[in-house]
Amino acid sequence: MRQFELESVEAIDQAVRHRRVHDGQAFIAGGTTLLDLVKLDVMQPEKVVDVTRLPLKRIELLDDGRLKIGALVSNTELAKHEIVMRDYPVISEALLSGASTGLRNMASTGGNVMQRTRCPYFRDPDMPCNKREPGTGCSAIDGINRNHAVLGTSEQCIATHPSDMCVGMVAAGATLVLEGPDGQREVAFEDYHLLPGDTPEREHDLKPGELITHVILDAPRGGGQHYLKLRDRASYEFALASCAAVVNLDGDNIGEARLALGGVATKPWRADAAEAALKGQPATQESFERAAEAAFSDAVAYSHNGFKITLGKQAIVRALRDATARARA
Amino acid sequence: MAPVIRHSTGVGFCTPGAQADIAERPSAVSGKTSETRRITLTVNGQQHDLQVTPNAILLDVLREQLNLFGTKKGCDHGQCGACTVHVNGQSVNSCLLLACMQEGVDIVTIEGLAESAGFEQGHHPVQEAFLEHDAYQCGYCTAGQMMTASAVINDDTIDGDEVSLREALSGNICRCGAYKNILDAVQSARGKMRGGQ
Ligand SMILES: Cc1cc2nc3c(=O)[nH]c(=O)nc-3n(C[C@H](O)[C@H](O)[C@H](O)COP(=O)(O)OP(=O)(O)OC[C@H]3O[C@@H](n4cnc5c(N)ncnc54)[C@H](O)[C@@H]3O)c2cc1C
Ligand code: SF4
Ligand code: FES
Ligand code: FES
């Protein structure tokens, strides 16, 4: 394993100042992505900045009803927080469907947002990969791509974004708070992750020197919520297809539905075409199936992952059915 | 408090072996060698003064500097649970923790599990149950299984039904497939430790 310098910071401005001065730096929170990838030599930081002493460990209910989550809150703590379980079950369920008990104890909210793709070619420095080494080519497009994306892909990269939590947050609605050398700014959660396009190495809207300090969840949308994750084994596995659904009924019709998809797309995916197809429609199997068709109308399959289009549609229908049942309960 | 044990020799480099192929790749070794630093770790109630490099992984330090071989290295990447230890009572994967970031926390390994839970003599109830239920074959995953199980049993947010326990224990892979007996052992230990709860 490569050597690096390690420095611990006690204050946010110290962390942010650090990144501006030096290149080749990485923050470390839980370490479950960073150390995994340093051991593989996929990430090569010269200096690692330990941010775990920063005062970003609280979950705070704001006056306007939104919920402000510190970037260092662990995945376990967030999933099991009273308010999250009550008002944002879609996020709690998404978190608990991810990784394992031990990893969730270690993993942070900020680190989860920043986790890297599980594309096996990205994880192998001997293979060409545009995301790891721009311009070398994509090994997955003509390789084994069973786990890869069918939505939001480009000719340069078809890797999925692996997070479950992020999919729940897109459905619930959220804002990221970033602190950098030029001060603080906010970004809508669903705009934060970027499509690969011609620059798959650019995965998010974090500028050099910036730190995620908080995620603020929109005020609760109520309704029925559900996160459904489909995968090769029942637990401790990434999604092949997943769907986060938040459904508000208006009588027997759907008032507003918010849908996000995981496992099938290059970023945590808001299924807005499906949402539009549901608005004002009767909450029936036929409406759910029409929405699922709309969500995948632009999907592009590669040699091994065509099944994800079928699986993704089924995930939407089932998640909507369960969320609607909960909205009625 | 027992005296601090000083470990002046041995530097916590990553184990050769699993990563040897990577170490040989020229790009993998950064130009400058990092300085070692002194840290104090509290393991099984005992303080240890250690000299480690910044990239030293807790799992490697436990095994190579503290000779605590009960904690196993399976995958070295968070994918198997063989390296599970407790940090402040929570189960964590020691293969993805930097030793230098563990100062000031309580680390418990399988060697200290019984004592940490107040069983000064003999075994922890989870260890007894694994014996009774024959919950292992080769035994390689067993320490990790027991560390996760003991933390899960103490966790009030995890129910004792089969589905909840299987889910909570899923981060510990058993290559021998001893899952049925492992689950029986954990349920039996849970019953003994928590009564009807
Ligand atoms: C075996 C295994 C299985 C897994 N299964 C799943 C799964 O099923 N579903 C799922 O969603 N995830 C899964 N994960 C991924 C896991 O959720 C992430 O590794 C974890 O959330 C990362 O958080 P961390 O705090 O450990 O990040 P770290 O490793 O500490 O950091 C990750 C990256 O984020 C950067 N970073 C950290 N904090 C900040 C911050 N505040 N601001 C800016 N940058 C920051 C770091 O520099 C680094 O580049 C799995 C991981 C493993 C190893
Ligand atoms: S899909 Fe993306 S991450 Fe995977 S090999 Fe291609 S460029 Fe790299
Ligand atoms: S050795 Fe740590 S999880 Fe496998
Ligand atoms: S007993 Fe052999 S791996 Fe579990």
pLDDT for res B103: 98
Nearest to B62 by CA among B112, B104, B2, B4: B112
Kindly identify which residue of chain B lies nearest to residue A51, measuring between CA atoms.
B101
Name the residue among A4, A6, A39 with its Cβ closest to that of B77: A39
CB of A30 closer than 6 A to ligand 1?
A: yes
Q: Distance from the CA of B189 to the center of ligand 2, in angstroms?
A: 46
Q: Which amino acid residue places its CA nearest to atom 44 of ligand 1?
A: A211
Q: Kindly provide the ipTM of the predicted complex, given to two decimals.
A: 0.96
- The predicted structure's pLDDT at residue A209: 86
Residues whose CB falls within 8 Å of the CB of residue B8, separated by 6 or more in sequence, listed in order: B51
Instruction: Return the residue of B nearest to A33 by Cα.
Output: B96
Return the higher-pLDDT residue of B15 and A222.
Answer: A222
Range name among A3-12, B16-25, B99-108, B139-148 with the lowest pLDDT average: B16-25
pLDDT digits (tens, 9 = 90+) for B128-137: 999 999 999 9
pLDDT of the residue at A32: 98
How far apart CA A290 and CA A284 sit, in angstroms, is: 10
β-strand pairing of A253-262 with A269-270: antiparallel
Query: Which amino acid, one-letter code, is at B24?
Result: E
What is the average pLDDT across B105-118?
97
Q: Is the CB of A115 under 6 A from ligand 1?
A: yes
Mean of per-residue pLDDT scores for chain B = 88
Ligand 3 pocket residue status of B80, Cβ below 6 Å: yes
Residue B18 above 70 pLDDT? Answer: no
Query: Is the CB of residue A315 less than 8 Å from the CB of residue A241?
Result: yes
pLDDT at site B17: 38
> Residue A105 and residue B81: Cβ atoms within 8 Å?
no
Task: Please write the tens of the pLDDT for every residue from A55-81.
Answer: 999 999 999 999 999 999 999 999 999
Of B33, B77, B101, the CB nearest to A50: B101
Give the whole-number percent of chain B exceeding pLDDT 90. 79
Return the pLDDT at B34. Answer: 65
CB-based contact B93 A41, cutoff 8 Å: no
CA-closest candidate to residue B88, choices B100, B103, B72, B106: B106
Phi first, then psi: give them for residue A204, nearest 5 degrees: -160, 170
Among residues 120-149 of chain B, which lie with CB inside 8 Å of chain A?
Answer: 148
**What's the gap in Å between A275 CA and the centre of ligand 1?**
29
* Torsional class of A316: left (φ above 0), alpha (ψ -120 to 50), beta (otherwise): alpha
Question: Is B20 near chain A, with CB under 8 Å?
Answer: no
The structural domains of chain A, with segments of one domain joined by +, span: 5-49, 224-328
Tell me, using a 6 A CB cutoff, whether residue A130 lines ligand 2: yes
Q: Kindly report the backbone phi and psi dihedral angles of residue A54, in degrees, each rounded to the nearest multiple of 5, phi listed first.
A: -70, 150
Q: Which of A150, A155, A159, A143 is CA-nearest to residue A306?
A: A150
Cβ contact A78:A40 at 8 Å? no
Identity of residue A165: M
The answer to whether residue B46 scores a pLDDT higher than 50 is yes
Q: Report the helix count and the strand count for chain A, using DSSP H and E.
A: 12, 12
Residues 6+ away with beta carbon under 8 Å from A240? A147, A230, A231, A232, A263, A264, A308, A311
Alpha-carbon A161 to chain mean position? 6
Cα–Cα dist B38/A84, whole Å: 41
pLDDT at B49: 98
Whether the pLDDT of residue B125 is over 70: the answer is: yes
3-state secondary structure of A159: coil
In this prediction, residues B176-181 reach a mean pLDDT of 97
A301 token code pair: 């399959």
Spacing, Cα B95 to ligand 3 middle (Å) = 6
Q: Quick one: tokens of A56?
A: 């970003």
Confidence of residue B196 (pLDDT cuts 50, 70, 90): low
Q: What is the pLDDT along chain A (329 residues), one digit of tens a residue?
A: 999 999 999 999 988 876 665 668 999 999 999 999 999 999 999 999 999 999 999 999 999 999 999 999 999 999 999 999 999 999 999 999 999 999 999 999 999 999 999 999 999 999 999 999 999 999 999 999 999 999 999 999 999 999 999 999 999 999 999 999 889 999 999 999 999 999 999 999 999 889 999 999 999 999 999 999 999 999 999 999 999 999 999 999 999 999 999 999 999 999 999 999 999 999 999 999 999 999 999 999 999 999 999 999 999 999 999 999 999 99
- How many helices (H) and strands (E) would you count in chain B? 7, 6
**Residue A28, ligand 1, Cβ within 6 A:** yes
The domain A224-328 belongs to what CATH superfamily?
CO dehydrogenase flavoprotein, C-terminal domain (3.30.390.50)
| Angle, alpha carbons A250-A253-A258 (nearest 5°) | 80
Q: Shortest CB distance from A101 goes to which of B13, B22, B148?
A: B148
pLDDT level of residue B197 (50, 70, 90 thresholds): low
Facing residue for A102 by CB, picked from B34, B91, B98: B91
Query: Domains in chain B and their CATH numbers?
Result: 5-115 (3.10.20.30), 123-194 (1.10.150.120)
